[in-house]
Amino acid sequence: MDLRKLKKLIDLVEGSSITELEINDAEEKVRIVKNGSATGQHVYAMPMGMPAQMMAAAPGTAAVSAPEEPEIPEGEVINAPMVGTFYRAASPGSEPFVQIGSVVKAGDTLCIIEAMKLLNEIETDRAGTVIAILVENGEPVEYGEPLFVIG
């Protein structure tokens, strides 16, 4: 993205009451977040498609910060085996496959990931108790993204 356009977007966020702006197009993704505090406001911009090291070296850019990783509890992490949309239940009106605290055994279905109009049941390969569910229903997931923690 042209640095002048990025600067204009940062100025737009700084001068308005919005706290977050995210723009996605075919080639670029930009997310600008404004954090308010008693001493002032800070605006962070991070193009999603560009490494943070390149942005830090670019002249005239705002402070760059990587998004904070959520803290994952101790246990076996079940990651997404594919890219798609995460669903906790077989249909919108039905009960979720598992809840926090559910006891599961190897082969139990944890969720469904929809990819290219196909519904793929994601099963656990170990027995235990579901400690955490790290993704909200209906959210897109990436390959390797943590979904569940089983203890």
Domain match, 145 and 84 both: yes
49 inside domain? yes
Q: Indicate whether 96 pLDDT > 70.
A: yes
Domain match, 94 and 141 both: yes
pTM: 0.53
DSSP conformational letter for 37: E
Q: Indicate whether 146 pLDDT > 60.
A: yes
Torsions phi, psi for 65 (to 5 deg): -135, 140
Largest CA distance in the chain: 55
Structure tokens at 103: 């006891």
Domain match, 87 and 138 both: yes
95 inside domain? yes
101 inside domain? yes
Quote the pLDDT of residue 55: 46
User: Which residues have CB under 8 Å from 109's CB, separation 6+?
Assistant: 97, 121, 122, 123
Domain match, 136 and 82 both: yes
90 inside domain? yes
- Please state the domain count of the chain: 2
d(CA 104, CA 125): 10
- Condensed to tens digits (0 to 9), the pLDDT of residues 104-144 reads 999 999 999 998 889 999 999 999 999 999 999 999 999 99
Domain region containing 50: 3-57
